[in-house]
Structure 1
Amino acid sequence: MLTELTYESTARELVTDQGVLRYHEAGEGPPLLLLHGSGPGVTGWRNFRGNLAVLAERFRCLILEFPGFGVSDSTGEHPMAGAQAAVIRFLDGLGLQQVDVIGNSMGGIVGAQVAMAHPDRVRRLVTIGGVGRNLFSPGPGEGIKLLMDFTEEPTRERLVQWLDSMVYDRSLVTEELIEERWALATEPATLAGARRMYGKAAFAAGAAAAAASDAPPYWAMLHKIKAKTLITWGRDDRVSPVDMAILPMRSIPDVEVHIFPDCGHWVMIEQKAAWESVVLAFLTRKDER
């Protein structure tokens, strides 16, 4: 197993016509693109560093840092709005025609959007929570409301409340994790990007724009995904309740679902070994048709 993977040894940069995209690379084999979620102090490295050694045994792993989260150069856009284009810019810059994709929360939505818009670029898609829409539970979920509270008034206490909502086992919210997230989440440019996504005014404006638009939401178009898809979810997710998985489960043509018990939003962290086993089995399974 590859155990000596550090931030410094895996960090890379790709210069593009819209600034530098930063990423982490490890392993050899078929290319596997990992896309992170959103939230205070998030980075791709922090989402997937614990899984990298295992996945890199079988794949050339590429953890992309989305613009607008304090690592890659910002494009000035709403972070969600610029993410899909950033993925294509990244793949083109590395000369990759087709990849497997793992996307956590927002990263899963972005992966699904890329798979719909560019079906030849995504061979297999794995999502971790977040994809779909609430059917039985109220929305936004508890964790999203806590995220909005932190974004409006960034205090350490509110950060801890949000981090607690991300997990089933609160012992995972260590002082080290809190300090790590706090440092980047309160950096002015990163906080400004978060407010474009989760500030209460921005959230309300986005909802109003969606209601007024004739364009269908992404979740109404999931039937266009041609890639074999694995949806993974924590049964106890308080950010994106598990009933959200029902719509993509019924909409995506070639899809399977795995729900992990005693697990919150960070499935790849909280159920690390089980999640890695399921994902590797899915990604390496030979096509049966």
Structure 2
Amino acid sequence: MESKYSKEETDRFVEIDGIRLHYNEAGDGPALICTHGGGPGANAWDNTKWVLDALAENFRVLLVDMPGFGESQMHVSRQDVPMDIFCARLKKGLADHLGLGTVHLYGSSAFSAAALRFGIDYPGRVGRIVIQAYAPSQHPGPTPGLKAVGAFAKEPTPANMEAMMEQFTPNPDLRTPEALAARFRAANRPDHLASRTEMNAGSNSDLVEELRSLTAKVLVTWGNHDGMIPVAGVLAALEEIPDVQAHVWGGNSGHFVATEHPAEFARLVTDFLLK
């Protein structure tokens, strides 16, 4: 079911540190900044729209496209700053611009590190953190999913998109023609594929040692059949993050648990952030 909030009515644009960012905003309450993953076509609206209605009942939800993704500025250089540090600074700049004090954070996959980095570098500004399919020490080799991402980035065809989405979402009932078409359009947005090379998971810092200073509570979420990032990483996350709990969905769940289990995901996140 589509969100009662339309993308158009919630679209916002702002310039932070000279970079044009796009985000969608809905709801009232404590601020919750949500970002997306790093695969071709990733964007915050499509990543989180299925849980927007429920989250907006309790939070001021900001779905933020990182540079090179969605409708944010393309061809942004990090100037060799690690991606987690670069993006955490942008999120703090956005919070400052909007007059937000403490914020909760939700980061998915490649941009989970930026959410954790925010908590490390700005402990007075962070509430709680939710991450998806990410463990600090996990450096997955050429998984079938990552191979499919590389194949699509090299040759962005509908067939390669379908092969990539099979790894993201193993349940065929959820890989609708509409979902595939939307992701394909987003992945072929002008300059996106070239721009995302500057914002890749490999450019994140090694957070394992620095995480010892993280005081924020963290919730890790994952799907048992994630073809991109192996779910075994959840055990590493439980060892490495000081104050952490985890929720893993079974039943052929994949990389996008917020899309695959929207009602449960929204309840879980809401309870975690508010308790």
| TM-score between the two structures when normalised by the length of structure 1 | 0.85
Determine which of 93, 97, 102 is the counterpart of 1:89: 93
Look up the equivalent residue of 1:254 and give its one-letter code.
Answer: D
2:194 alignment partner, one of 178, 186, 192: 192
| Contact persistence 2:219–2:244 (CA under 8 A) | yes
Q: What amino acid sits opposite 2:24 in the alignment? A: H
The code of the aligned residue for 1:258 comes to H
Contact 2:68 2:199 in 1 (8 A): no
Using the alignment, how far apart are the partners of 2:166 and 2:97 within structure 1? 38
Q: Which moved more, 1:242-251 or 1:50-59?
A: 242-251
Which of structures 1 and 2 has the bigger CA Rg?
Answer: 1
Between the aligned partners of 2:87 and 2:191, the Cα distance in structure 1 is 17
Task: Report the residue type matching 1:260 in the other structure.
Answer: W
Equivalent residue number for residue 259 of structure 2: 269
Distance 1:40 1:111, change over 3 A: same
User: 1:54 is matched with which residue?
Assistant: 54
- Which blocks of at least 5 consecutive residues in structure 1 are unaligned? 211-215
SS of match in other structure, 1:74: coil
Q: Is the 8 A contact 1:36 1:107 kept in 2?
A: yes
Say if 1:134 and 1:241, in contact at 8 Å, map to a contact too. no
Map Cα deviations across residues 87-138 of structure 1 (whole Å, 9 max, x no partner). Answer: 1221121122210111111232210111112112211001111233448xx6
Equivalent in the alignment of 1:258: 247
2:108/2:131 contact within 8 Å kept: yes
Give 2:36's aligned amino acid: H
SS at match of 1:218: coil
Contact 1:48–1:268 (8 Å) recurs in 2: yes
Match of 2:108 in 1: 104
Identity fraction in percent:
32
Decide whether aligned partners of structure 1 residues 3 and 144 sit closer, same or farther in structure 2, where only a CA change above 3 A counts. closer
| Partner Cα distance (2:124, 2:74) in 1 | 27
Matched, 1:124 2:113: no
Structure 1 outlier segments of 4+, above 4 Å: none
- What amino acid maps onto 2:161 in structure 1? L
Aligned residues: 269
Superposition deviation, residue 197 in structure 1: 5.0
In the alignment, the residues of structure 2 paired with residue 158 and residue 72 of structure 1 have an alpha-carbon distance, to the nearest angstrom, of: 25
Q: Do the aligned residues in 1 keep the contact of 2:51 with 2:265 (CA within 8 Å)? A: no
> What is the aligned counterpart of 1:235 among 193, 215, 224?
224
| Residues 142 and 219 of structure 1, relative CA distance in 2, 3 Å threshold | farther
Q: Conserved in 1, the CA contact under 8 Å of 2:33 and 2:104?
A: yes
Q: Taking CA–CA contacts closer than 8 Å with sequence separation of 6 or more, which of the two structures ends up with the larger relative contact order?
A: 2
Is the contact between residue 134 and residue 243 of structure 1 (CA under 8 Å) also seen in structure 2? no
Contact 1:67/1:86 (8 A) holds in 2: no
Select which of 138, 157, 160 maps to 1:158. 160
Find the counterpart in structure 1 of residue 9 from structure 2.
9
Consecutive unaligned residues of structure 2, counting only runs of 5 or more, are none
SS at 2:191 equivalent: helix
